[in-house]
Structure 1
Amino acid sequence: MTATSAGGGSGARAGRGARLRAAIAAVSGTVDRLSEVSRAKYQNPYAALSWPDSVDPGADWFFTPEITSLHGTPHQPEPDSEEFRRFAFLEASNFFSLNIHGEKALMEGLASRLYRSDLLEISDYLHHFLDEENKHSVYFGGFCRRYGTLYRSRNIPFPAEGDRSVADVLFFAKALLFEEHADAYNVHQARDERLHPLARFINQAHHADETRHLVFNRAIVQALWDTHAPEWDAATRDEVRDRIGQFFVTTWREYYNPDVYADLGLADPWQAAEDAWNAPSQRAHRRNYSDRCLRFLLSTGILQKEPADAF
């Protein structure tokens, strides 16, 4: 993908740089407030949680049953059974694994943008963002390493973009999608009194920081889009929109993990994943949990239509 504009010389580049700095400065007040809250709410992940020696996946709930990926499908285990609780534990391991993989990519992208000249206005908050994602990985990794499984990611990375403006929009848009979906699950599960206290704690601790990340992600994605998209040609804008739509779908696809279904003992885990993805109850579930994120992307013009096959 190559981003082009009507004026591609040094003057045009300087103009784009000035507009980006102005856009970043416009959100820096928000970013400064987020940094203040991050400092005030800092939590040491090594002191905040005392890990149990063991857990019993067949006796306790570790994932809300109504939001498991097989809920409402023919493959769903018997309600309130030991098998369903074991499946919910596997779903918790998958959810935490998805967060580990997503946050690893997020930390790499944030670190590469620290102190970049055009992002200096937000560099302080990028430090907090990076630190908090590392802290989250301590929780998620601690759970998977002690009790569960660190499931592999099947997400195939897109090729790196040569054009920095395109790469920035795609990176922060992907971060937005990943964190919006995960936080919706965190909020639900932090409030679910049926869950084991460990599961509730991890979800609540993640959500506490994600509230700031979501505000930042929306602000920076809109600032970058409003700055760069008018300078791209129509083909580039369309391709960026297509890529964001693909991110949207692939982010959800990983919640339907054949490896989880194999560990559950299903005879054809790949078919189960496809059946679950296409189940009306799961399509409705994805729409419900994507609502706020999708409304933001459509209302800002970043997306012009719903991503194909998401619902």
Structure 2
Amino acid sequence: MNTATRNPLEAVAINAGDPFCLSEQKHENIRKLVQASHRSFMDVDGVLPWQDGIDLSLPPKADNTSWIYGTPYWDALGESERRELLWKETARDVSMFIWLEQTLPPLYVGYVNTYHERLSPEIYEYLMIFPKEEIIHTLMFRRYMKLAGLNLFAPPSGPYAALLAKLPTLHPAIGILWTLTIEWAAELVAMSSTQDEGIEPLTRKMFHAHHVEEIRHITFGRRIVEGFFNSASHEDQAIVREQFRPVLNNFINLLTFNPEIAAHLSFPFPADVNNPDVVRSIRTSPNNAMLNARRFKEQRDWFVELGLSQ
């Protein structure tokens, strides 16, 4: 993302009367999300059987979803090393949710404070519900990390992270697209790897409980972004598409394999993470290509439909 001087995204116009410009059908979708959120909501103490603890002898995710499964680097590891690797990969996934979900509340409440007189009642209310739920998710994930004895990974970096500081000043649909991209992709990764039989029970339950609310967040984001591409000028749509595509590619690469994993293991990582060719070979391994084609299909199809990906 080009952040020098003036970001091209700053030129995207915000409608003076209604920053979101949704159809009545999309407004009705959001009213239903509000109702669902009030009917079913999470509390940190009751959402999981914390008293059962976490069994670190069990895998937190399926072996074949490891970042290096199907490569010589996986074959070089013993059973205990593979198990530790799976737990540290899960720590990265949980860390990503934590960093995103504690960043999101000030952004969305900021939209409420900035545009409150121009928001429909249901968008206003969901922009308040959304961060409330994300705060609870963050507390749940942090409790899980502490109980499992896992350390946080560093906050995300790269083009999409560089954009974060600018989001409050940009069109709100851009901020919602940014959070949707990360949240949706991370959710697809988590749910595709943790819901099989034999997965550590509390881990599996946690990701499923998170998914119940997260699917509403994803639906909200999709309706908002679709509204933007249904109402914005062709010029503004082109700017968003041009700026977004490299962000998406960079993020999927980092989701597929994060070299920071080497610093979290008690044993030497079997690949040279400082060698770009090695990192690239892991990210493009046949197993990762198959995983990404399957787990990101729904998201990628939607991005293609909106012209955000090719």
For the aligned pair, the TM-score class normalised by the smaller chain equals 0.7 to 0.9
SS in 1 for 2:61: coil
CA distance in structure 1 between the aligned counterparts of 2:261 and 2:66, rounded to whole angstroms: 11
Q: What letter matches 1:36 in structure 2?
A: Q
Match status 1:145 vs 2:112: no
Moved more, 127-136 or 277-286: 277-286
AA partner of residue 300 (structure 2): L
Q: How far has the Cα of 1:238 moved from its partner?
A: 3.6
Decide which moves more: 275-284 or 74-83: 74-83
Question: Taking structure 1 as reference, are residues 163 and 114 closer, same or farther at Cα in structure 2, changes over 3 Å only?
Answer: closer
Name 2:280's counterpart in structure 1.
274
- Deviation of 1:216 after TM superposition, in Å, equals 0.9
Residues 72 and 281 in structure 1, CA contact (< 8 A), matched pair in contact too: yes
Structure 1 residue 223, shift from structure 2 partner: 0.8
Aligned partner letter, 1:172: I
Letter in 2 for 1:293: Q
Instruction: Tell me which residue corresponds to 2:35.
Output: 36
| TM, length-normalised to structure 2 | 0.82
In structure 2, which of residues 292, 296, 303 is the aligned counterpart of residue 297 of structure 1? Answer: 303
Q: Report the count of equivalent residues.
A: 289
Residue 161 of structure 1, CA deviation? 4.5
Q: Which residue of 1 aligns with 2:162?
A: 158
What is the alpha-carbon root mean square deviation over aligned residues?
2.7
CA distance in 2, matches of 1:198, 1:152: 24
Counterpart CA distance in 2 for 1:119 and 1:112 is: 13
What runs of 5+ residues in structure 2 fail to find an aligned partner?
1-7
Aligned pair in 2 of structure 1 residues 276, 118: CA closer, same or farther (>3 Å)? farther
- The aligned runs of 1:228-243 (5 Å cut-off) are 228-230=232-234, 233=235, 237-243=237-243
Alignment of 1:36-55 (within 5 A): 36-52=35-51, 55=54
Q: Closer, same or farther in 2 for the Cα pair 1:163/1:141, shift >3 Å?
A: closer
Alpha-carbon distance, 1:95 to partner: 0.5
Shift of 1:183: 2.1
Contact between 1:69 and 1:276, CA under 8 Å: does it hold in 2?
yes
Distance 1:54 1:85 in 2: 18
From the superposition, tell whether residues 162 and 46 of structure 1 become closer, same or farther in structure 2 (CA, over 3 Å): closer
Matched, 1:108 2:106: yes
Q: Deviations over 1:3-31 (max 9, x none)?
A: 278xxxxxxx7xx3346464265522111
Deviation of 1:175 (Å):
1.8
For CA contacts below 8 A with separation 6 or more, give which structure has more relative contact order. Answer: 2
State the shift of 1:153 in Å: 2.0
State how far apart, in whole Å, the 1-side matches of 2:173 and 2:246 are: 14
TM-score after normalising by structure 1: 0.82
How do 1:168-187 residues align onto structure 2 when only pairs under 5 Å count? 168-187=172-191
Q: Which residue of 2 aligns with 1:206?
A: 210
